Structure 1
Amino acid sequence: MEKSGSLFRNRRLESFLNTSSNPTVKEAPKVLVKEEAGQRPRASATADVYVDDDGWLPTLISVVRIVVCFVSMMFTTFIWALIMILLLPWPYERVRQGNVYGHVTGRMLMWILGNPIKIEGAEFSNERAIYICNHASPIDIFLIMWLTPTGTVGIAKKEIIWYPLFGQLYVLANHLRIDRSNPTLAIASMKEAARAVVRNNLSLIIFPEGTRSKNGRLLPFKKALLIPFITQQPHLQGFVHLALQSRLPIVPMVFTGTHRAWRKGGLHVRPAPITVKYLEPIPTHDWTADKIDEYLKMMQDLYVKHLPESQRPLPSETPRISSKS
């Protein structure tokens, strides 16, 4: 089943989404640059820029794509909610079906949006691990739904059950929830979540920045955990704490270009190229609690190394470890 899940996510990527999953690809993804005002954009293989085309026709097409995405997502959510109800006696199978929902829905939404995608490091895409990724666009959500392996769970506040339809599907899919009513209960819930991950051979997905970047540039990694998919409210313990408790390796996923494709606070999706790069898993079996800041800095530096210049922090904004929750 694990192999079939991986094949489901990666097979026919080139034909379906104009994607390459070859980890050794050296060429830069094409970007669109205007030759002159009023002319149609042309392709450039080297520029780290993307110039918007905000004419009425691209804007109208973007609105149509977003509406189709919303309607399509509601349809698949309803279908999988029915499947989950039938699988109530089998909790782990519900986790797997939740991932299948994500693979189908995320891939479908990216196809509707139409952005060219390149995938690198696909050989690391089916590890049992803690997956982390930079976050600068709603598109990041679609990508992690599609590209994280079968057996991956998110962690959300227990109140998520009140989110219409999606919240109920989240609970039915047996994803993890924690009690944030007070710090003691929150910490206990996080520890229990880590034990559940180990006990059921699951993976996790986390945004280490703790919020979405407004301009695509990397933000400081936080010691507090961001709930993926649902909210920008962090918890008391972050991915390093979860790694210390679970001893799972960490697989960084580096997203490039999503901030240009769909900007924070906007409703205009642009045909900017996107790259998803899986980095080699980082073992955590020998990590110790007294070096948490060092591990966070190491992970931040790794992202800075692999991000393009346009997404690296400015010299005056070099990421520092954040302990804020």
Structure 2
Amino acid sequence: MLFLVRMLLLGLHCFVVGVLGVLIGLCRPFNPDNSRIFARLYGLPATWLMRLEVKAEVGPLFDQPPGCVIVANHQSNHDLFVLGHVVPPRTVCVGKKSLKWIPLFGQLFWLGGNVLVDRGNSYQARRAMQTTTRTLREDDTSIWVFPEGTRNPNEQLVPFKKGAFHMAVEAGVPIVPVCVSRYAKRLSLGGWRRGKVIIRSLPPIATSGLTQQDVPALAEQCRAQMQRCIDLMEAELPRT
């Protein structure tokens, strides 16, 4: 019963934020700071409803000026709410083109200035990546990417896709890893127990002087650093 009530409230919350977000987006379409506003509107009430306590340790993320590539692990659809607490100013996201068909959220995502990529069309995907590179270089805007490419609630990060790292190297901008503790498998929307999730950002990884040949090693370096950080956060959390 509690699960159904909570899901109903989350659905209502998403509808209200979707309507409000679209109105904000229509007033300031494609503003690169829209995503931060939308993320807070989604995240803060939703994690309260889900009884999730979010501990954010993201000094390096907010100390880094806009114009970097942010990479984070991706566990579930609830990442929208959890990571909504820490999206920095002037940050947009790379997402699947199919997202635009989701009622309200898709229109909000588009009006937020986010980048929609058709993964089935290699030409359009390359064009989109060229656009993000110009955004990084010229618009003082950061790009948020989930380099695993899919939801992964398991203990080990899957090998990272290289697109985010190609972007960073081509634009000559740093990469900021953002790590989230493994909350997805512990989340219980049908119970009263309060859960805890830690979000921790790591120091920026410089790409100056690197070439595209360095991308595989760069991606693996980032994945290894994030894996160690996630394992450490898990050891800090109380056993349930």
Q: Fold match, TM over 0.5?
A: yes
1:72 pairs with 2:72: no
Determine the C-alpha separation between the residues in 1 that align with 2:120 and 2:158.
28
Counterpart pick for 1:143 among 75, 82, 87 = 82
Aligned-pair CA distance for 1:119: 2.0
Q: How many residues align?
A: 232
Q: Provide the TM-score with structure 2 as the length reference.
A: 0.85
Structure 1 contact 157–180 (Cα < 8 Å) conserved: yes
Match of 1:110 in 2: 47
CA deviation vs aligned residue, 1:193-227 (integer Å, no higher than 9, x gap): 2212322211111111121124343222222xxxx
Report the AA paired with residue 19 of structure 2. F
Task: After superposing the two structures, state which structure 1 stretch, 291-300 or 117-126, moved more.
Answer: 117-126
Structure 1 contact 253–277 (Cα < 8 Å) conserved: yes
Structure 1 contact 124–251 (Cα < 8 Å) conserved: yes
**RMSD over aligned Cα, in angstroms?**
2.5
| Structure 1, unaligned runs of 5 or more | 1-59, 224-237, 313-325
CA deviation vs aligned residue, 1:22-48 (integer Å, no higher than 9, x gap): xxxxxxxxxxxxxxxxxxxxxxxxxxx
Give the SS at the match of 1:308: helix
1:5-84 to 2 correspondences below 5 Å: 60-84=1-25
1:290 pairs with 2:213: yes
| Structure 2, unaligned runs of 5 or more | 236-240
Counterpart pick for 1:239 among 164, 168, 176 = 164
% identical aligned pairs: 25
Structure 2 contact 10–46 (Cα < 8 Å) conserved: yes
Determine the C-alpha separation between the residues in 2 that align with 1:198 and 1:305.
30
Determine the C-alpha separation between the residues in 2 that align with 1:172 and 1:303.
31
Higher helix share: 2
Q: Provide the TM-score with structure 1 as the length reference.
A: 0.64
Aligned-pair CA distance for 1:63: 3.3
Match of 1:183 in 2: 122
Report the AA paired with residue 153 of structure 1. V
Determine the C-alpha separation between the residues in 1 that align with 2:214 and 2:35.
35
| Structure 1 residues 202 and 273: alpha-carbon distance in aligned structure 2, compared to 1, 3 A threshold | same
- Aligned structure 1 segments of 4 or more residues deviating by more than 6 angstroms: 309-312
> Considering only CA atoms, is the larger Rg found in Structure 1 or Structure 2?
1
Determine the C-alpha separation between the residues in 2 that align with 1:122 and 1:215.
26
Determine the C-alpha separation between the residues in 1 that align with 2:178 and 2:59.
10
Structure 1 contact 85–172 (Cα < 8 Å) conserved: yes
Structure 2 contact 156–227 (Cα < 8 Å) conserved: no
The answer to which structure, 1 or 2, has the higher relative contact order (CA under 8 A, 6+ apart) is 2
